Structure 1
Amino acid sequence: MNIPAFTGGNAPPRIASPPAIALHQVSHFFGSTPVLNHVNLTVPKGTILALLGPSGCGKSTLLKMLAGLLHPASGQISFDGEIVASGTFSLPPERRNLGMAFQDYALWPHMSVRQNVAFPLQMRGVRGALLQEKVMAALDRVGLADFASRRPSELSGGQQQRVALARAIVAEPRILLFDEPLSNLDRDLRESLCEEMATLLRQLGTTAVYVTHDRHEARALAHKIAHMDQGAIARIDLNDASVVSPFVA
């Protein structure tokens, strides 16, 4: 029996998927000093958001909240509609399905490049041929497939940061977090690696939050830029510099 296609006007409403990241009234204190002040923010899936501002404005603290390295004093943080932190609860970092890269690279010096990149997968129980396949694919993406057997001490600063990037993406996390990963590099190398990262992040299509104090870096990498000041988001700009409503990325 042929069933005609539905053409009526009472189709069920389309349910929008939750944002990749949602913060509601998130606050944090160091002692009695407020560091984050009732931050509200949503980041749609696939968006690269830069947190831009001077030292002490709260951007790294906010990133550490997303990573699970700090807990909010109040408010709520959700990933894909799942609450990962509140004033009374915090999901451990290893259960948040994140990839992270920091300015000091955080590579284990006694491990080879291959072993450093393999670590997040091993923590998830990946072994054998699949492990090696995924590690080499990640290293190939950052142009370091031929350096898999080297130690971090045998690499330049830019190469070490590429290893850190490969380690961040190898497990295909739902969110990538970057805390000023290029700040230790000289200007020319920073600019070239910034372009490479921008291309890679857009190819991956992964939601990413990128902390920086460099306006040019933010513009090269991000779809949108959240300007932070005194623990709050002052405004969010599109990458074409047109201002959109505060608190919604």
Structure 2
Amino acid sequence: MPLTPPATAIRVENVCHRFGSNTVLNNLSLTVPQGTIIALLGPSGCGKSTLLKLLAGLLHPDAGQVFFGTQKVVDGRFSLPPEKRDLGMVFQDYALWPHMTVAQNVAFPLQMRGIARPLRQQRVLAALDRVGLADFEQRRPYELSGGQQQRVALARAIVAEPQILLFDEPLSNLDRDLRETLCTEMAVLLRQLGTTAVYVTHDQQEAEALAHAIARMKQGVIERIDYLQKPAVSPFVA
């Protein structure tokens, strides 16, 4: 069963976030059109991971609003819980449960949504096939290489067919050759899926290989956006 997740636009309006006296995001605005992949690129401390966590619902901003399509998910008084945002996220440390099999790890988001077992099994097998792990469903994470574990994490992110995918430096723990291979595979997969995606990285080559556009961040603001490929729909507005 092919996975063809829907997609939705992301709109961030005048978002500010502070940690104590340190302003991490400074009145930042960004629009990501439906079905577009944008990379957030910049040095450590520039705010890119904080912005991603705000999109995921793991942090709440001090000011500003965030919309997924027409749905407001954040404003000054309200923050929609992460599990209700219809998104998938891939972390740099894989975040797999060691006591679960590969199939159980991938199925977990579907279990949380109450999907019936037969449909869960179909979607898990389809997701694993998408990432090249069709015969690995009964293995445990400790039996896999780092690249295979990251593929499992990617399968788990796409299995529930989310509208948005978020990536927090997912390849940073891998060696250069494996990073290049997985980067190419992920670029192909994301374009096949057509899902809106935000990809945090400090590696310019990675950003250029994956994204339609790169938002270059510095000291809590987006300095400029470089367009690499034609976006899925209308141009960005920052």
- TM-score, structure 2 as length reference: 0.93
1:65, distance to aligned residue in structure 2 (A) = 0.2
SS in 2 for 1:75: strand
Of 184, 190, 195, 2:184 maps to: 195
1:87, distance to aligned residue in structure 2 (A) = 1.6
**RCO (CA 8 Å, sep 6+): is it higher in 1 or 2?**
2
Code of the residue aligned with 2:88 in structure 1: it is G
Equivalent in the alignment of 2:153: 164
Equivalent in the alignment of 2:135: 146
1:240, distance to aligned residue in structure 2 (A) = 5.7
SS in 1 for 2:157: helix
Equivalent in the alignment of 1:59: 48
1:81, distance to aligned residue in structure 2 (A) = 1.4
Count of residue correspondences: 228
Equivalent in the alignment of 1:226: 215
Q: Deviations over 1:38-68 (max 9, x none)?
A: 0010010000000000100000000000000
1:134 aligned onto 2:123: yes
Moved over 6 A (4+): none
| 2:32–2:236 contact (8 Å) kept in structure 1 | no
CA distance in 1, matches of 2:108, 2:18: 33
1:145, distance to aligned residue in structure 2 (A) = 1.1
| 1:236–1:248 contact (8 Å) kept in structure 2 | no
CA distance in 2, matches of 1:53, 1:92: 27
Code of the residue aligned with 1:130 in structure 2: it is L
**Which ranges of structure 1 fall in alignment gaps of 5 or more residues?**
1-18
Provide the aligned C-alpha RMSD in A: 1.6
| 1:45–1:206 contact (8 Å) kept in structure 2 | yes
Equivalent in the alignment of 2:105: 116
| 1:40–1:247 contact (8 Å) kept in structure 2 | no
Equivalent in the alignment of 1:74: 63
| 1:233–1:247 contact (8 Å) kept in structure 2 | no
1:84, distance to aligned residue in structure 2 (A) = 0.2
CA distance in 1, matches of 2:9, 2:206: 23
Identity of aligned residues (%): 74
Equivalent in the alignment of 1:43: 32
- TM-score, structure 1 as length reference: 0.89
